[in-house]
Amino acid sequence: MNIGSRIERIPDNKYNRKLLVISGFGNTFDSMDIAMVAFVLPSVIGLWSLSSEQAGLLGSSVLIGYFFGALLSGYLGDKIGRKKVIMYTLVIYSLATLASAFAGQWEHFFWLRIIAGFGTGGESAILAPYLSELIASKYRGKYIGALTGFHSFGYVAAAVLAYFIIPMSDNGWRIAIFVTALPIFLVIYWRRVLPESPRWLASVGRLEEAQQEMKKMENSIEKALGEKLPEPAGTAANTIIQQKGSFFALWKRAFVKKTIMLWILWFSVIFSYYGFFTWLPTLLYNEGFEISKSFAFSIVIYLAQIPGYFSAALLNDIIGRKKVIVTYLGLASVSAFCLSQADASTAILITGFFTSLFMVGAMAGMYTYTPEQYPTIIRSTGTGSASAFGRIGGLLAPIYIGFMYPILGFIGVFLMTTGVLFIGMVSTLLLGNETKSRPLDEVADSADRTVEDPIDSSSERKIN
């Protein structure tokens, strides 16, 4: 029986929400770990008497690892399975973070943060395609947008932990990092409760396992609903072709426009995001605004992410992913422009709040939109590759803004940010197609033959 039709007939339920929360915790701890580096940086600069160049390297360490983690986990997710990559990357991140809390030299801290970033990048890139394969298309936009929203909790948690723990003692920064390593214990729970994606199992020919995982999910959902699920709309046998996906498949004719559009979108959003959050406090302080150094300022900017992510998550299934991305990027561009013109603390707080809100709202649409562009056999590779390319923008943004600020000034930097966000909006508007309420099987059915290696009829198998 068709796996896709069995998933499509599943209504919203407690089991789906449980999967969302469990997966969302991964994003929360990933973001908390990334944000924590910025908060501990002043402590380690003083401890190891670091130069500005060394401090800059430490600030970029997690993103360096993030790039390689996202790139490799996408490939591995299509080869060995989504669930295995989720658990392995969590272990890597937790162990490296734990070890970094006891680092005795800045070089050791630097390399351990790269390894931790490899884990966070890998996990973050695989969670969206994983959950998208388990949720019916009617609710998928809401769930993947909300999954992305869990990142905001990590940033707020990092700010709160930093405020209360780091000033406690000279080793407060070590304690704060130690706390961010605690999700290692999630692995034990995840191993027991997370299903492997039945879509992925079927796509690689592991049909019996796909049936078993699908049946377990259906039993859990029927228990949550208190009633039997309706019969699937399509009961005909499903032809499954054992395929081999690869990175190069992303550049085949059926996907090249989508890949270009997604890479431009991810680069522009992540470039603007990390440029904004990395440099805003420093640039404002240089302009004479003391508010930028206050705890309240950081909390307000981070709290804006919560309504940003979750408003976009709700709109994903109402107006569509493409409209969410284009609208939020357009509003983020306007907000960034207004921020460049702000000349009072109140105006800075308001425009900074809305720039943060709309920027992350676009990310909620982007994380939902990306896995929907590819069939199962390359969905993880496509998502991971786009995420990895976006991290190049995240790495370049702090360096580029640091170089351009003396030339362009405060206004020029944020006008540049406005332009980058506008490019991402235009690329999506011109090259993107709407995927609202579109079953994932429609993507696969229309494109699978362009992904697979040459096959003969003997390689086809059926699920009955």
Partners of 240 in the β-ladder: 461
Cβ–Cβ contacts within 10 Å for residue 201, how many?
A: 24
If you write DSSP's letter for every residue of 346-407 in order, what string do you get? HHHHHHHHHHHHHHHHHHHHHHHHTGGGS-HHHHHHHHHHHHHHHHHHHHHHHHHHHHHHHH
| Phi and psi, residue 56, nearest 5° | -65, -40
* Dihedral Cα 249, 255, 258, 263, nearest 10 deg: 20
Across the chain, what does the average pLDDT equal? 85
Specify the higher pLDDT residue, 239 or 89: 89
What per-residue confidence (pLDDT) applies to 293? 60
What does the block give as tokens for 90? 């969590």
What per-residue confidence (pLDDT) applies to 413? 81
What per-residue confidence (pLDDT) applies to 132? 93
| CATH topology for the 3-234+242-449 domain | Growth Hormone; Chain: A; (1.20.1250)
CA distances from 154 to 22, 58, 151, 158, 337 (A): 14, 20, 5, 6, 27
Quick one: average pLDDT of 153-179? 89
Quick one: average pLDDT of 208-229? 92
Quick one: average pLDDT of 321-330? 95
**Sole residue written with tokens 């019996």:** 208
Quick one: average pLDDT of 211-225? 93
* 163 in Cβ contact with 295 (< 8 Å): yes
What per-residue confidence (pLDDT) applies to 329? 95
- b/e code 228-259 from CB counts within 10 Å (16+ = b): eeeebeeeeebebbbbebbeebbeeebbeebb
pLDDT band per the 50, 70, 90 thresholds, residue 290: low
Cα Rg of the chain (Å, integer): 22
**Distance in angstroms (rounded) separating the CA atoms of residues 212 and 214:** 5
Cβ–Cβ contacts within 10 Å for residue 283, how many?
A: 20
If you write DSSP's letter for every residue of 251-307 in order, what string do you get? GSTTTHHHHHHHHHHHHHHHHHHHHHHHHHHHHHHHTT-GGGGSHHHHHHHHHTHHH
**Distance in angstroms (rounded) separating the CA atoms of residues 143 and 138:** 10
What per-residue confidence (pLDDT) applies to 291? 58
**Distance in angstroms (rounded) separating the CA atoms of residues 14 and 253:** 40
Residues of the chain with pLDDT > 90: what percent? 49
Mapping DSSP to helix (H, G, I), strand (E, B) and coil, where does residue 195 land?
A: coil
| Phi and psi, residue 103, nearest 5° | -60, 135
What does the block give as tokens for 129? 């395609």
**Distance in angstroms (rounded) separating the CA atoms of residues 437 and 443:** 12
Quick one: average pLDDT of 221-243? 70
What per-residue confidence (pLDDT) applies to 63? 84
Amino acid 228 reads: K
Residue 230 has pLDDT above 90, yes or no: no
What per-residue confidence (pLDDT) applies to 108? 95
Specify the higher pLDDT residue, 265 or 336: 265
Those residues whose C-beta lies under 8 Å from the C-beta of residue 464, and which sit 6 or more positions away, are: 1, 237
Helices and strands (DSSP H and E) totals, the chain = 17, 2
- b/e code 64-73 from CB counts within 10 Å (16+ = b): bbbbbbbbbb
**Distance in angstroms (rounded) separating the CA atoms of residues 125 and 27:** 10
The size of the chain, in residues, is: 464
Residue 449 has pLDDT above 80, yes or no: no
What does the block give as tokens for 6? 């069995």
pLDDT band per the 50, 70, 90 thresholds, residue 201: very high
What per-residue confidence (pLDDT) applies to 245? 58
What per-residue confidence (pLDDT) applies to 191? 78
What pTM, to 2 d.p., does this model score? Answer: 0.84
What does the block give as tokens for 248? 């190069």
Cβ–Cβ contacts within 10 Å for residue 456, how many?
A: 6
What per-residue confidence (pLDDT) applies to 92? 94
Specify the higher pLDDT residue, 317 or 53: 317
What per-residue confidence (pLDDT) applies to 390? 92
pLDDT in tens, 3-38: 888 999 999 999 999 999 999 998 998 888 888 887
Is beta strand 238-241 parallel, antiparallel or unpaired with respect to 460-463? Answer: antiparallel
**Distance in angstroms (rounded) separating the CA atoms of residues 463 and 161:** 51
pLDDT in tens, 60-93: 788 889 899 998 998 999 999 999 999 999 999 9
What per-residue confidence (pLDDT) applies to 190? 80
Alpha helices in 9-105 (DSSP H): 14-48, 52-80, 82-100
Quick one: average pLDDT of 109-132? 93
pLDDT band per the 50, 70, 90 thresholds, residue 295: low
Which among 63, 24, 76, 18 is positioned nearest to 383, based on CA atoms?
A: 76
| Domain ranges (residues) in the chain | 3-234+242-449
Quick one: average pLDDT of 382-394? 91
Specify the higher pLDDT residue, 242 or 388: 388
pLDDT band per the 50, 70, 90 thresholds, residue 455: very low
